[in-house]
């Protein structure tokens, strides 16, 4: 064994210098009459430790620290090459651990941590409520602490005038929107103050991709007019390619139409979120106080009297929090999961190194006998592990880039800020830091253990025979820890999968099988003339029903589970608004009479709609959901009771009660600001949001058919275009697909967790296998003696498997306790299953013990086949 020599001339010279010193000393002694052998030994003794002298001398050269590091790394690289198999396993494990962490960190960084891409993003705030246009104008003009802006939630627009009418996602924004956000157009201009007034707002700004795809990047687009929703709008600007706000789907921006003469629209419907930019030196606290003080003024400005305590204003929170706050729990849970995965990987690699450290005992003893300090040896060993983890990190970065594209495909497409997620310099730094820390973590444990060397013991031949009990205890502890962490991860995954199962199998209140949907969106101008749209839809439904693939068809203003709907602030007969509460906000479904039948929504009481209800002369009737009946008429019969929109005189009569439908999401029937759900018949007595009595313009067809949607999408398109050429048909898909989209978030979390849990399980099993194999190898002699003394092979098998099972059992117990503490943090992600679900806990515990027994079975078989004669000779 030769220590790595200092490379380079200077080291050689130092060696020669010392050699000449020794040579001269020897010669002097020989001259004095000593024998050559005596002289040589005496000269060396007098000189002292050559290596130490070299080292202290080298320290005078400067840069020693760095050069030592380089030397350590060079030596480490050589050791790694010599142990190629071990290095491969360790690096693969680290690629998994570091790669997964890098991918999830880039997700967390891009979505949660990175500031919004606006100037001074920290000054942007969000008001946690929805406000009508009138309220926005009052607040914008009177607020003292913020510049307020408003934009509608994503709205859809018909773009006609081309070959095929298309439906685009856009948003209506207040004229000061771009200015306050601090965003400029890439070409042309953004809106100027006042351009949200009626008569001045016939403008549009295009997204870069719309300009590129639809208008072939026409450099003369500015000033041209395009037809949106049947109205001509002048293009004033094109945004930069990376500007997609408020939604990644946004293709165009139009000014709001702030027209106080449209009383219903201005005060009643078109509720929008409001964003603000805090004035300099204004705090969130002041903004909140100001908002509360404004409240009476806003309420007083309403077109109709709002009870003073009827409407609670939202509070002011940072905009970033508003956009991504809802994702925090699931993202941080994912980060926690990959963090645990990395710990398992570290424990595995540490165990590998521990096993090897036992083999290297003599080398280390020799190095320390030659004068290497304990710190020097630890540094050498840690250099090796850091080099290993850097290698794992570098390759893990590639794995993460690949994994990230898979990850993005798994995540729900509408996840905010997903477009920000990429492996960039921040992620690179994170990975580098993580790799170094990881290397120190898994290297330090075995290194501190190994550097405590009992020289005489270690240097004695065969001193290694029994192994080192200290290291054995350490590696057992590591495996127990690994199993415990695996238990936590697998339990978390189990809970998420179980709640996904519950979600997917929850009764949504309707039957989704064999239903195909299609969104029909004529221009609003087409429906201005009374009855024209009604005739169009009646004809359309008749023709669709006549298609050979179609069994039945109906129409509704929006699909359950997050489709669009109308909202009607109402007076409910016999219901007094409690102090502090707001007026009942009723969600309205406008349906053709056969909607309930096609969707399989049960009629619980009273009657359903008939064709007669759709006539101009018919009585105003409505259905309510079961939950609504229980809310407003608890224990009473709601049939025959009345309600009316707040701004109208006419009362609607309730004629029936239907089953509850998951209108909002799989976990909630209605959004929490809604108090009930009403159904009105499609016809002249439908309530158009807070506007007048008129049928909605856009409807979604629900078509019962046993055929796949693509089989008759073409037929559907041609039926519509025969009736009217400029009506886009979109969202042709199965209702089951829509249902699946509704659980896309939970599904992606559950599938990611399942992957992590599977990795944890594999790594855990490898860990148990490694430790048991190693202990079998160490105990070969002991097993041989046992067998020579008459132990049966069966007993040896039990001995070894029992060892593995005992480790697993200890790990499982700790893991169960850990899971009990940790899974509580994710209870908001669970549905229909408790964070301490006994079934999951028991199942996972059993699974882990079985896996551990299987992992120890292989080495146990090896132990069983030990030949006592060979084993006892084995030295």
Q: Which residues bind another protein (CB under 8 A)?
A: 13-14, 16-18, 20-21, 23-25, 27-28, 47-49, 52-53, 56-57, 59-62
Residue 348: phi and psi, rounded to 5, are: -60, -50
Strands 676-681 and 621-625: antiparallel
Residues 6+ apart with CB under 8 A from 280: none
Distance CA 287, CA 290 (A): 5
Distances (CA, A) of 719 to 166, 537, 598: 16, 11, 20
Looking at beta carbons only, is 30 or 428 nearer to another protein? 30
Looking at beta carbons only, is 22 or 847 nearer to another protein? 22
- Closest contact distance (angstroms) between CB of 57 and another protein is 4
- Closest contact distance (angstroms) between CB of 464 and another protein is 33
Q: Taking Cα atoms as reference points, which of 833, 497, 503 lies closest to residue 668?
A: 503
Structure tokens at 69: 């590091």
Looking at beta carbons only, is 51 or 455 nearer to another protein? 51
Structure tokens at 799: 């001995």
Looking at beta carbons only, is 59 or 513 nearer to another protein? 59
Task: Provide the 3-class DSSP secondary structure of residue 152.
Answer: coil
- Closest contact distance (angstroms) between CB of 380 and another protein is 22
Torsion angle defined by CA atoms of residues 833, 834, 837 and 841, in that order, rounded to the nearest 10 degrees: 100
DSSP 255-316: E----TTSHIIIIIS--EEEEEEEPTT--HHHHHHHHHHHHHHHHHHSSSPPPTTS-----E
- Closest contact distance (angstroms) between CB of 814 and another protein is 51
- Closest contact distance (angstroms) between CB of 120 and another protein is 53
Looking at beta carbons only, is 30 or 723 nearer to another protein? 30
Distance CA 442, CA 506 (A): 45
Number of Cβ within 10 Å of residue 413's Cβ equals 11
Looking at beta carbons only, is 56 or 283 nearer to another protein? 56
Distance CA 149, CA 144 (A): 14
Distance CA 363, CA 607 (A): 90
- Identify the helix (H) or strand (E) that includes residue 696: none
Distance CA 497, CA 830 (A): 9
Structure tokens at 462: 């065969």
Which residues is 568 bridged to in the sheet? 586
Identify the residue whose tokens are 């020599």. Answer: 5
Distance CA 349, CA 389 (A): 10
Taking CA 544 as the corner, what is the angle to CA 538 and CA 548, rounded to the nearest 5 degrees?
A: 150
Looking at beta carbons only, is 48 or 182 nearer to another protein? 48
Looking at beta carbons only, is 9 or 865 nearer to another protein? 9
- Closest contact distance (angstroms) between CB of 241 and another protein is 58
Taking CA 833 as the corner, what is the angle to CA 831 and CA 834, rounded to the nearest 5 degrees?
A: 115
Identify the residue whose tokens are 């509070």. Answer: 315
Looking at beta carbons only, is 18 or 810 nearer to another protein? 18
Looking at beta carbons only, is 62 or 580 nearer to another protein? 62
8 A C-beta contact, residue 583 and residue 302:
no
Looking at beta carbons only, is 53 or 378 nearer to another protein? 53
Strands 155-160 and 225-228: antiparallel
Taking CA 127 as the corner, what is the angle to CA 126 and CA 129, rounded to the nearest 5 degrees?
A: 135
Looking at beta carbons only, is 24 or 542 nearer to another protein? 24
Residue 290 burial (C-beta neighbours within 10 Å; 0-12, 13-18, 19+): middle
Strands 676-681 and 585-591: parallel
Looking at beta carbons only, is 39 or 719 nearer to another protein? 39
Taking CA 105 as the corner, what is the angle to CA 101 and CA 107, rounded to the nearest 5 degrees?
A: 125
DSSP 629-663: HHHHSTTS--TT-EEEETT-SPPEEEEEEE-----
Looking at beta carbons only, is 10 or 711 nearer to another protein? 10
- Closest contact distance (angstroms) between CB of 6 and another protein is 13
- Closest contact distance (angstroms) between CB of 24 and another protein is 4
- Closest contact distance (angstroms) between CB of 72 and another protein is 21
- Identify the helix (H) or strand (E) that includes residue 598: helix 595-599
- Closest contact distance (angstroms) between CB of 14 and another protein is 8
- Closest contact distance (angstroms) between CB of 29 and another protein is 12
- Closest contact distance (angstroms) between CB of 67 and another protein is 14
Torsion angle defined by CA atoms of residues 498, 500, 506 and 512, in that order, rounded to the nearest 10 degrees: -140
- Closest contact distance (angstroms) between CB of 46 and another protein is 8
Structure tokens at 574: 């016999």
- Closest contact distance (angstroms) between CB of 38 and another protein is 14
- Closest contact distance (angstroms) between CB of 68 and another protein is 16
Looking at beta carbons only, is 53 or 301 nearer to another protein? 53
């Amino acid at each position: 064994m030769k220590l790595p020599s200092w490379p380079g001339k200077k080291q050689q010279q130092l060696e020669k210098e010392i050699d000449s010193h020794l040579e001269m000393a020897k010669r002097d002694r020989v001259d004095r009459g000593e024998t050559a052998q005596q002289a040589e030994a005496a000269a060396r003794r007098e000189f002292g430790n050559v290596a130490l002298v070299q080292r202290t001398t080298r320290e005078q050269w400067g840069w020693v620290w760095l050069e030592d590091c380089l030397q350590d790394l060079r030596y480490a690289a050589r050791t790694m090459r010599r142990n190629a198999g071990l290095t491969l396993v360790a690096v693969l494990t680290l690629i998994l651990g570091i790669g997964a962490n890098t991918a999830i960190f880039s997700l967390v960084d891009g979505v949660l941590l990175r500031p919004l891409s606006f100037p001074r993003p920290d000054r942007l705030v969000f008001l946690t409520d929805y406000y009508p246009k009138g309220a926005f104008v009052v607040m914008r003009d009177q607020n003292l602490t913020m510049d307020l802006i408003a934009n509608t939630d994503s709205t859809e627009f018909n773009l006609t005038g081309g070959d095929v009418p298309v439906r685009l996602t856009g948003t209506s924004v207040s004229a000061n929107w771009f200015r306050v956000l601090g965003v400029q157009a890439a070409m042309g201009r953004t809106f100027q103050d006042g351009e949200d007034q009626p008569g001045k707002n016939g403008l549009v700004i295009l997204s870069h991709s719309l300009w590129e795809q639809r208008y072939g990047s026409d450099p003369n687009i500015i000033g041209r007019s395009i037809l949106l929703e049947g109205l001509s709008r002048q293009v004033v600007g094109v945004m930069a390619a990376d500007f997609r706000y408020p939604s990644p789907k946004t293709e165009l921006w139009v000014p709001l139409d702030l027209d106080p003469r449209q009383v219903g629209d201005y005060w009643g419907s078109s509720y929008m979120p409001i964003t603000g930019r805090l004035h300099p030196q204004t705090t969130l606290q002041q903004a909140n106080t100001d908002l509360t003080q404004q409240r009476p003024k806003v309420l007083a400005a309403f077109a109709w009297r709002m009870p003073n305590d009827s409407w609670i204003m939202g509070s002011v929170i940072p905009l970033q929090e508003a956009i991504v706050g809802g994702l925090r729990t699931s993202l941080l849970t994912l980060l926690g999961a990959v963090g645990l995965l990395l710990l398992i990987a570290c424990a595995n690699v540490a165990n590998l190194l521990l096993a090897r450290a036992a083999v290297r005992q003599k080398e280390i003893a020799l190095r320390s006998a030659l004068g290497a300090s304990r710190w020097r040896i630890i540094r050498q060993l840690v250099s090796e592990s850091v080099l290993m983890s850097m290698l794992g990190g570098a390759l893990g970065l590639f794995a993460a880039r690949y994994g990230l594209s898979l990850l993005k495909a798994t995540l729900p497409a509408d996840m905010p800020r997903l477009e920000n997620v990429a492996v960039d310099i921040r992620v690179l730094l994170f990975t580098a830091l993580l790799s170094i820390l990881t290397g120190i973590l898994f290297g330090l444990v075995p290194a501190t253990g190994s550097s405590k060397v009992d020289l005489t013991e270690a240097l004695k031949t065969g001193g290694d025979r029994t192994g080192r009990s200290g290291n054995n205890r350490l590696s057992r502890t590591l495996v127990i820890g690994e199993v415990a962490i695996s238990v936590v991860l697998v339990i978390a995954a189990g809970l998420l999968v179980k709640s996904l199962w519950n979600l997917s199998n929850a009764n949504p209140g309707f039957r989704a099988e064999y239903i195909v949907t299609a969104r029909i969106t004529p221009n609003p101008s087409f429906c201005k003339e009374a009855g024209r749209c009604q005739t169009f839809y009646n004809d359309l439904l008749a023709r669709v029903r006549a298609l050979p693939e179609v069994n039945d068809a109906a129409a509704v203003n929006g699909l359950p589970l997050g489709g669009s709907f109308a909202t009607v602030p109402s007076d409910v007969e016999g219901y007094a608004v409690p102090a502090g509460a707001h007026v009942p906000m009723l969600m309205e479904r406008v349906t053709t009479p056969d909607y309930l039948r096609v969707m399989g929504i049960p009629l619980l009481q009273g009657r359903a709609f008939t064709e007669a209800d759709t006539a101009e002369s018919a009585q105003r009737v409505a259905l309510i959901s079961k939950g609504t009946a229980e809310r407003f008429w608890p224990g009473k019969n709601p049939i025959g009771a009345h309600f009316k929109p707040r701004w109208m005189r006419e009362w609607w009569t309730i004629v029936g009660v239907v089953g509850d439908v998951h209108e909002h999401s799989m976990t909630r029937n209605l959004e929490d600001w809604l108090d009930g759900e009403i159904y009105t018949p499609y016809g002249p007595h439908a309530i158009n949001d807070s506007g007048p009595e008129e049928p909605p313009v856009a409807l979604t067809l629900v078509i019962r058919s046993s055929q796949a949607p693509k089989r008759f999408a073409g037929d559907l398109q041609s039926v519509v275009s025969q009736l009217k050429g400029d009506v886009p048909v979109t969202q042709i898909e199965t209702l089951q697909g829509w249902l699946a989209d509704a659980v896309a978030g939970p599904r992606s979390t559950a599938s990611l967790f399942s992957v992590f849990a599977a990795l944890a399980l594999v790594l855990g099993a490898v860990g148990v296998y490694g430790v048991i194999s190693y202990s079998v190898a160490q105990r070969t002699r002991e097993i041989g003696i046992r067998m020579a003394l008459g132990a049966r092979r069966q007993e040896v098998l039990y001995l070894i498997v029992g060892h593995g099972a005992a480790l697993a059992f200890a790990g499982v117990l700790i893991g169960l306790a850990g899971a009990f503490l940790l899974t509580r943090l994710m209870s908001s992600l669970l549905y229909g299953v408790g964070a301490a679900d006994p079934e999951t806990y028991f199942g996972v515990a059993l699974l882990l013990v079985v896996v551990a027994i299987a992992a120890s079975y292989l080495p146990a078989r090896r132990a069983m086949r030990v030949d006592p004669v060979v084993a006892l000779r084995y030295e």
